[in-house]
Amino acid sequence: MTLSEGARAGTRKLEMLDSLLALGGLVLLRDSVEWEGRSLLKALVKKSALCGEQVHILGCEVSEEEFREGFDSDINNRLVYHDFFRDPLNWSKTGEALPGGPLGALRAMCKRTDLGPVTIALDSLSWLLLHLPCATLCQTLHAVSYQDSCPPGDGSPVGKVHVLGLLHEELHGPGPMGALSSLAQTEVTLGGTMGQASARILCRRPQQHPTDQTQWFSILPDFSLHLQEGPSKEFQPQSDPHIPLVDPMAHLTFNLHLSKKEREARDSLTLPFQFSSEKQEALLRPRPSQATSHIFYEPDAYDDLDQEDPDDDLDI
């Protein structure tokens, strides 16, 4: 790779995570069993933390240790982890569970007092959608995501709010998925082929056409993103060299081949319904009456002779 290509690849590397975090609002990360999205979520969390934003994690699906694994200590110090993994439904009744559950924690983030940019990572939005009514969740997400559009009275600028929601596609029907989709500013659908992951990014910028692009990428162990070119287009399924090519016409009891004379005779044959100029001449030439064929018809006794021509109404 030349220097200029490397530089462009470097700028492109920043662009994917930057473009996902450029708009405020809700970013949906849609993953599946085969192509998981938690590592991309962690890459975005790391990027936000490195940009100096305050990062809140609503952890419902994995333990805090597992989520923090792979981050170095300066990033971990910036993460505020709300643990809903150990006892989300308050079954242990020890009083340690955070009051109000995950919904209460989300609503509390609507009323934050400091106004810097903040990133809220929901791990996962699917868990919330399975446990909360869809309408309540959508209203709360809307309230959290669009805080910056209602500035406080003193005119101080409000920092952007990013809400990153990890959504497992197979778990929800088209109704809730559509509702969350319409709330989201950016939608990333994870997929891939032949061992390489791809992200289809749909961005809805205000007053602009939505953009749709696909990026091939891989995530490194330290949760930084590495853009890739995509699977090689020259890839073709190689024919198995171990299978010898067999001539299927080798051992037949009948002859499929044509000799040269037979081939010439076949090529010079005119087809019966092909309208060539010779045929046209033959038809237009007045025919001698003897050459025509006669049809002798003797009607039966009980035959019903209808003089009216049934084809009269056809315009031939």
Partner 1 sequence: MFPELNNLLNTTPDRAEQGKLTLLCDAKTDGSFLVHHFLSFYLKANCKVCFVALIQSFSHYNIVGQKLGVNLTMARERGQLVFLEGLKSAVDVFFQAQEKPHPLQFLREASAGNLKPLFEFVRDALKPVDSGAAGWTYPVLLVDDLSVLLSLGLGAVAVLDFIHYCRATVCWELKGNVVVLVHDSGDVEDEENDILLNGLSHQSHLILRAEGLATGFCRDVHGQLRILWRRPSQSTSQRDQSLTYQYKIQDRSVSFFAKGMSPAVL
Return residues touching partner 1 (CB under 8 A): 33-34, 36, 39, 61, 63, 65-66, 69-70, 85-89, 91, 126, 130-131, 168, 170-171, 195, 197, 218-221, 223
22 versus 97: smaller Cβ distance to partner 1: 97
Question: Are 227 and 215 spatial neighbours (Cβ–Cβ below 8 Å)?
Answer: yes
Best CA proximity match to 106, nearest among 38, 163, 23: 163
66 versus 262: smaller Cβ distance to partner 1: 66
211 versus 224: smaller Cβ distance to partner 1: 224
Smallest separation, CB 265 to partner 1 (Å): 48
Smallest separation, CB 211 to partner 1 (Å): 27
159 versus 192: smaller Cβ distance to partner 1: 192
Locate 109 and state its tokens: 């983030």
Distance, CA of 107 to CA of 23 (rounded, Å): 21
Lookup result for tokens 């993953």? 31
36 versus 148: smaller Cβ distance to partner 1: 36
Inter-CA distances, 108 with 59, 79, 142, 181, 302, Å: 15, 17, 14, 23, 99
Question: Are 109 and 144 spatial neighbours (Cβ–Cβ below 8 Å)?
Answer: yes
Smallest separation, CB 218 to partner 1 (Å): 6
126 versus 140: smaller Cβ distance to partner 1: 126
Smallest separation, CB 129 to partner 1 (Å): 10
Smallest separation, CB 24 to partner 1 (Å): 27
- Count Cβ neighbours within 10 Å for each residue of 143-172 and write b for 16 or more, e otherwise: ebbbbbeeeeeeeeebbbbbbbbbbbeeeb
Locate 292 and state its tokens: 């025509």
Smallest separation, CB 242 to partner 1 (Å): 14
Smallest separation, CB 153 to partner 1 (Å): 42
Beta strand extents in 60-138 (DSSP E only): 79-83, 118-123
Lookup result for tokens 């003089």? 307
Smallest separation, CB 116 to partner 1 (Å): 29
DSSP 249: T
Best CA proximity match to 57, nearest among 32, 29, 31, 76: 76
117 versus 192: smaller Cβ distance to partner 1: 192
Locate 16 and state its tokens: 């994917």
Give the SS3 label for residue 164.
strand
Element spanning 144, H or E: helix 134-145
25 versus 59: smaller Cβ distance to partner 1: 59
